[in-house]
Amino acid sequence: MTKRILIVDDSPSIRQMVKVTLASADYDVTAAEDGIEALDLCLVNEYDFVLTDQNMPRMDGLTLIKSLRAQPEYEAKPIVMLTTEASDNMKEKGRAAGATGWMVKPFDPDKLLMVAEKVLSK
């Protein structure tokens, strides 16, 4: 069954790049502009993996992760946060919010595919 991935990032070029990269590996990819749009989508559809940026208007990544974890469907789903701040501080915040893992920007398509495979093959 095709795995469904949600990418949340306020940058159109990043969204496009992630979409094209993951689609090339036959994943079903949806994109959202910010945390609020993502939350709306998650409440309507069930995604197998959520990849979210941190710095976004309206609702940031950490808040999104916390909100998702409060939903029964997303308690156990893999959620990875994208961040350019790879300080331990941000990683800590991510873990505290309930993220499954983290990925640093910039990343290249291969890395992205590797992470997706790792989370979705378990």
Partner 1 sequence: MSIDMQQFHSVFFEETQEHIHEMERILLGMDVEALDAEDINRIFRAAHSIKGGSAIFGFDGLTGLTHEMESILVLVRNNELSLNKIHTTEFLTTIDLLQTIFNAYQQHESIPDKNIAEQIVKLQELLPKGINSSEDDAGFGFFDLPISSASSTSSTTQTSDDEAFGFFEPLQPTPVKSPSPTPKKASEESAPTATSTSSIRVDTQKIDSLVNLVGELVIADAMLQQLHQTQAHSSENLQQALENVNHNIRLMQDAVMSMRMLPLSFVFNRFPRVVHDIASKLDKQVELVIKGAETEIDKGMIEKIVDPLTHLIRNSVDHGIESAAQRARLNKPVCATVTLKAYQKGNNIHIDVSDDGAGLDTAKILKKAKENGLTDTADLTDTQIWDLILAPGFSTAEKVTDVSGRGVGMDVVRQNIEQLNGRISIDSQPNEGTTFSLSLPLTMAIVEGMKICCAEQTYIIPLTNIIESLRPTQEQLPSVANHPIIHIRDEYLPLISLHDLMAPNALKPHPTQSIIMIIESGKHKFCLHVDSLEGQQQVVIKSLEKNYKAVTGVSAATIMGDGSVGMILDVEQLAHIAKQQQIADNQHG
Chain residues 69-88 in contact with partner 1, contact rule CB under 8 A: 69-71, 75-76, 78, 80, 84-88
Is residue 48 close enough to count as binding partner 1 by CB under 8 A?
Answer: no
Q: Calculate the alpha carbon distances from 53 to 48, 100, 121 in Å.
A: 17, 14, 22
Confirm if 120 and 47 have CB atoms less than 8 A apart: no
Size of the residue set binding partner 1 (CB under 8 A): 61
Is residue 95 close enough to count as binding partner 1 by CB under 8 A?
Answer: yes
Confirm if 91 and 69 have CB atoms less than 8 A apart: no
Is residue 30 close enough to count as binding partner 1 by CB under 8 A?
Answer: no
Is residue 32 close enough to count as binding partner 1 by CB under 8 A?
Answer: no
Is residue 108 close enough to count as binding partner 1 by CB under 8 A?
Answer: yes
Distance CA 1, CA 25 (A): 13
3-state secondary structure 20-57: HHHHHCCCEEEEECCHHHHHHHHHHCCCCEEEEECCCC
Residues that bind partner 1 (CB under 8 A): 10-14, 16-17, 20-21, 24-25, 35-36, 39, 53, 55-59, 63, 66-67, 69-71, 75-76, 78, 80, 84-88, 91-92, 94-111, 113-115, 118-119, 122
